[in-house]
Amino acid sequence: MKEVAAGPQEKKYSLSKQTVSGRVRCPKSAQPSSSAYALGSEGDCLLPEYKSGDIMICDPEKPPELGDLVVIWWKNEAIQPLIKRLLLPLPPQEYWGLDGEAEMAICVEMLSPPETLIIKTTGVAAVHKVIHVIRT
């Protein structure tokens, strides 16, 4: 087991009341980088697979792949991050700020109720892969 800091390493990704305090143990098999962080999930949108209070270990250094759980961080820090399942590959980050006819988007899903969400990348600061879930 490897201990992971509870809360993101970078200040701009603070999660306020949802951040897990202290440190949590993450299995070495998840291969967390030194940038990995833990946060608590909130809400029922990922039921029945995940429940409110489960602890997500996120790693900003690992690229998200199809089907992965991801945390979407907003440029507007007042908006709470989302934890969803990635349905399509992420567009290249250098195109995220484009506006107009060729806007880039991130396609994710929630499970309860089943719904596909299309999120414009212009308001997204970062998307981090969830590498491990600690069930509570």
Q: What is the reported pTM? A: 0.83
Q: Which domain holds residue 45?
A: 2-134
CATH number where 58 lies: 2.10.109.10
- Nearest Cα to Cα of residue 13 among 105, 125, 132, 91: 125
Count CB atoms within 10 A of the CB of residue 42.
Answer: 14
pLDDT string in tens for the chain (136-residue length): 566 665 544 433 333 334 456 778 888 888 998 889 888 888 899 999 999 889 999 999 999 999 999 999 999 989 989 999 999 999 988 888 777 677 889 999 999 999 999 999 999 999 999 999 999 8
- Domain count within the chain: 1
**Residue-level pLDDT at 112:** 92
**Residue-level pLDDT at 15:** 37
